[in-house]
Amino acid sequence: MDQSLTLALPKNDLAVVQQIPADQKGREANPLYLPPRSIRATEFNSPELQELIDRMYRTMVQKSGVGIAANQIGKRLQVFIIEAQSDNPRYKVLGAVPKQVFINPIITKVSSQKKNFWHGCLSAEGANRGNVATYEWIEYQCQNEKGALIKGRLEGFASVIFQHEFRHLMNGTYLDVAKQCLSKEALDLAIERNETPFFDTAPDTLPLLIQGYSIGDTLEQYHATK
């Protein structure tokens, strides 16, 4: 059995899977570019699922991330976590986002307006930040660790992080979408000098991070069209 499709985890610390540029070999075997499966009814409320979530979260915190998807730690499973603490060194300017776990997520409704954001990623270590559009707000449904159906709405930075992690489950990263990229140092300077938009209304010409996804579809439906 393909171990990336199971809940089983190694005993050692989890490594973050790194992106592979579209013009390089290796994507066909990289979990970031392979369809993730949904969590099954029999797997909810299990020690194995809870351990997966706990260790994903621990890895995210260790790396100072604000979100992490299961395929970023090599597991092709429809699970991701978001959280931005007020003292996070990477994104503190946009405020805190409470910890939330999303299992088998679906985006059910989105705003007409979009915001731009310069994305970085734990799976793009050392890469430039990329400017892409995300919906200003989204509504979603998912399941929690016990399998209960959850519905909600996210706005602002929480909406950005959700769409960033959802992109991973669609496969790929912001680098597969972004046309404008800057090093973190150049970006910080440009923002300080007001030389680039930062979380402003996005023009229609700016690529949408989750382009290709039809609102209301399951991830299985999305991948079936690829």
pLDDT in tens, 86-120: 777 776 567 889 999 999 999 999 999 999 999 99
101 sits in which H/E element? strand 97-110
Could you tell me the two tokens for 137? 């707000």
Per residue in 156-195, pLDDT (tens digit) is: 999 999 999 999 999 999 999 999 999 999 999 999 999 9
State the pLDDT at residue 205: 96
**Using CA atoms in the order 30, 36, 42, 45, what is the torsion angle rounded to 10 degrees?**
80
- Of 83, 145, 165, 185, the active-site residue reads 165
The per-residue pLDDT for range 7-50, each reduced to its tens digit, is: 999 999 899 999 999 999 999 999 999 999 999 999 999 999 99
CATH class, domain 3-224, is alpha beta
| Active site annotation includes 165 | yes
Which pair of tokens denotes residue 67? 């979100």
| Cα–Cα separations (whole angstroms), residue 66 to 53, 119, 153, 176 | 14, 11, 18, 20
CA distances from 37 to 17, 127, 208 (A): 18, 28, 24
Nearest to 13 by CA among 50, 53, 46, 58: 58
Is residue 132 within a helix (H) or strand (E), and if so which, with residue range? Answer: strand 129-135
Q: Which residues, including other chains, have CB under 8 Å from residue 6's CB and lie 6 or more apart?
A: 75
pLDDT band (50, 70, 90) for residue 2: confident
pLDDT, residue 94, reads 79
- Domain boundary assignment for the chain: 3-224
Q: How confident is the model at residue 52 (pLDDT cuts 50, 70, 90)?
A: very high
Q: Is the pLDDT of residue 62 over 70?
A: yes
What's the whole-number mean pLDDT along residues 138-157? 97
pTM for this one? 0.96
Rg for the chain (alpha carbons), in Å? Answer: 17
Helices and strands (H, E) in the chain, number of each type: 4, 8
